[in-house]
Homo-oligomer: A and B are copies of this chain.
Amino acid sequence: MVQNSLIKGTLNPIILRLLSERKRLYGYEITQLVKEISDGKIELTFGALYPILHKLEVDGVVKTESEVINNRNRIYYSLTETGKNTAKERVAELEDFVNTLRVLLKPNFGLEYAIAK
């Protein structure tokens, strides 16, 4: 499992990334998808997930459809039109962040020129 503290701040853009690649997803499905894609390394808890989804809905980023499947209620989330742009922005920020981290992790930070050790 990924050190929990590292996840902070990345769950929101991760969820938007998932919704960008799929037409619609329901909450439980999102937790399973994150687990599967991350090879079990990222465990997205419900306590984190649902508040994020609810806020995204309030902010008009996602919209919901409720369906009863196997006698259980299932709430599908999908990006709104404006939400698609929001998702693009947040995902781009995450990509930028990942690239910055990669530089920080390079031997000597990729600064091959003269910087005193």
Residues of A within 8 A of B (CB): 2-10, 12-14, 17, 21-23, 34, 36-39, 41-42, 90-91, 93-98, 100-105, 107-111, 117
Question: Which one of B6, B93, B102, B117 contacts A2 once the chains associate, using CB atoms below 8 Å?
Answer: B93
Question: Which one of B5, B9, B105, B107 contacts A6 once the chains associate, using CB atoms below 8 Å?
Answer: B9
Interface of A is mostly: helix
Q: Are A100 and B2 in contact (CB under 8 A)?
A: yes
Q: A10 to B21, alpha carbons, bound, how many Å? A: 27
Given A8-B8, A9-B8; A105-B98 close (CB under 8 Å): yes
Given A8-B9, A23-B117; A2-B105 close (CB under 8 Å): no
